[in-house]
Amino acid sequence: MDVIDLYYLHRWDKTVPIAESVGGLVDLMGAGKIRAIGLSEVSTTRLREAQQIAEIAAVQNEYSLWTRNPELGLVEACEQTGVALVPFSPLARGFLTGALPDPQAFESGDLRRGMPRFQPDHWPGNAALLPAWTALAAEAGCKPGQLALAWLLSRGERVVPIPGTTDPDHLDENLAAVHLTLSDDVLARADALVNHATVVGPRYSAAQSREVDADTFEEDA
């Protein structure tokens, strides 16, 4: 293609000033190679710094019921400045579908094997949330994954989750979440059931956390 509509800086190199990295993307815009600039896994502070250099169209950070880091300021900042917040892993890496196998059965190359929440010391506590979660979805008349996506969509007009799948049936299921009408009570119960206080373990290991710049809860720092 001749031009890229939205080009993300997927990981900010912490040894390079954000102004320099974003400045490089501004040069690409000037050359007509990209139309808009996006950031990924950045903190609210870094977004504000980048906005001093260029207009930022989107921020792609992990956000779901079980990963609430964007609520530490990023959701509000995006809403205030007209930036699209694009949650990746909106289904909590499959957890919120209610259909995951035991993580011990993950294939050797599965990235989740190295994530604390799927490891033996944390997984039982997280798995204990699933019966109530699937029951709430059934009560709401939808699939567990649809409930998770509908909750995200309720967070604001600028929140645009991007669930991934290789299954056409799952794709149709995910798209149907856009048309769900859920009561405030159901959304509030979902929010209370799966959140930072009820999920066991940080989202990343210490080594993985050093690679990203997203806002972090104090106990996970």
Domain-located, residue 218 = no
Domain-located, residue 143 = yes
Q: How many domains does the chain have?
A: 1
pLDDT of residue 218: 80
pLDDT at 63 over 80: yes
User: Measured between alpha carbons, how far is 3 from 25 in angstroms, rounded to an integer?
Assistant: 13
Domain-located, residue 216 = no
- pLDDT, tens digit (0-9, with 9 covering 90-100), for 77-87: 999 999 999 99
DSSP E strands in 75-147: the ranges are 84-85
CB 64 within 8 A of CB 148: yes
Tokens 């049936």, residue located? 169
Mean pLDDT of 56-67: 98
Mean pLDDT of 180-209: 95
- pLDDT, tens digit (0-9, with 9 covering 90-100), for 2-41: 999 999 999 999 999 999 999 999 999 999 999 999 999 9
Helix (H) or strand (E) holding 204: none
CB 183 within 8 A of CB 102: no
Mean pLDDT of 163-186: 94
pLDDT at 221 over 70: no
The residue range of the domain holding 150 is: 92-155+165-211
Helix (H) or strand (E) holding 34: strand 34-40
Domain-located, residue 115 = yes
Domain-located, residue 177 = yes
Domain-located, residue 13 = no
Domain-located, residue 71 = no
pLDDT of residue 55: 98
